[in-house]
Chains A and B, each alone.
Chain A
Amino acid sequence: MAAKGDIIIDIERCKGCQVCLDACPKDVLEMSRKVNSKGYQYTVKVNSDCTGCANCAIVCPDAVISVYRVK
């Protein structure tokens, strides 16, 4: 099945709080093994199941996620 949604993560602003991981209904997100310049692990998209529901972006305290969805 073709992906319906996609996200862009501003990894430099991510503080690695992992709140988005719980909010994602499709388990699309995981924490990186690397760290960003602030020293935080950041969220990465690991598969193409994203539906573009924007749950991750809404709960992200730092608003690092932009969401795209095929309409």
Chain B
Amino acid sequence: MAEQSIISPENLVYKKTGVMTDRELHYCPGCGHGTAHRMLAEAIDELGIQSETIGVAPVGCSVLAYYYLNVDMQEAAHGRAPAVATGIKRVLPEKYVFTYQGDGDLAAIGTAETIHACNRGENFLIVFINNGIYGMTGGQMAPTTLPGMKSSTCPLGRDVLTMGNPLKITELVAQLPGTYYVTRQSVHTPGNARKARRAMKKALEYQKENKGTCVVEVVSNCPSGWKMNPVESNKWMEENMFPFYPLGDIKVPGKGLVSDGKNGS
């Protein structure tokens, strides 16, 4: 009896935001992309800027982000989302512009676009999903793959002598004078997801100030690529990804660099 009365419109405290479409997500079970999409959508919803926001979708697992985010979206060529966003923001400076990119898009093929957009201080938000692997193409090694981490193209683990070191692109762009707010978050627990939403909201708000590029990195899991179940992959991420990619703010307006990426916060 009591339970019947709880489910009523006035008691509703959480449901899928209207900034996401009704379409079912194609992501694998437990993938962080779904939560990251929703945190971004909720940030847009909280600011009430749905009709003034333009997103740029990448190539990779999140290539279909334009199906799920109920804002104006533009698909970009692989890695070129920051270049496309630059054009959109310069033509329509009053709009809120963001790119949503994975590590294969942003840190591999799009490294040049990312670095130069950040160096020019283009006034948009880059949401960077880092899961250390090329998820869409079958779990190959990415620039962000950890040393010793196994993938389908480094089945014995990444050997840094022959395959190079992982690229901490978020720390790298934080050094550039063009970036304004750079932070690293995750969405695997309720607390972290709420923090990620706050970071994205802040980053969107900073666009009004026209001070430079904001980068929100979301360290995420890839259960299919890592060959683990979702709960295990989240645990593995905490134990292995976070020591290398520590969560927290890296560059904060007014304070400059607050983290060198070597210790967690």
Contact = CB atoms under 8 A, between A and B. Distances in A.
Interface of A: 2-6, 8, 13, 15-19, 21-23, 40, 48, 52-55, 57-63, 65-71
Given A61-B27, A63-B34, A63-B38, A23 B13 contact: no
Residues of A contacting B: mostly: loop
A58 B14 contact: yes
Given A18-B231, A58-B193, A71 B32 contact: no
Given A5-B13, A17-B231, 18 more contacts: A4-B6, A6-B6, A13-B24, A15-B28, A17-B29, A17-B30, A19-B30, A54-B14, A54-B190, A57-B15, A58-B190, A58-B193, A59-B189, A61-B29, A61-B35, A68-B12, A69-B13, A71-B10
B7 A6 contact: yes
B14 A18 contact: no
Contacts of B189: 23, 59
B238 to A, nearest CB: 12
26 contacts: A4-B6, A6-B3, A8-B7, A17-B230, A18-B30, A18-B229, A19-B30, A19-B231, A21-B231, A22-B231, A22-B234, A52-B6, A54-B13, A57-B14, A59-B35, A60-B34, A60-B35, A61-B30, A61-B31, A62-B27, A62-B34, A63-B20, A66-B15, A67-B13, A68-B12, A71-B11
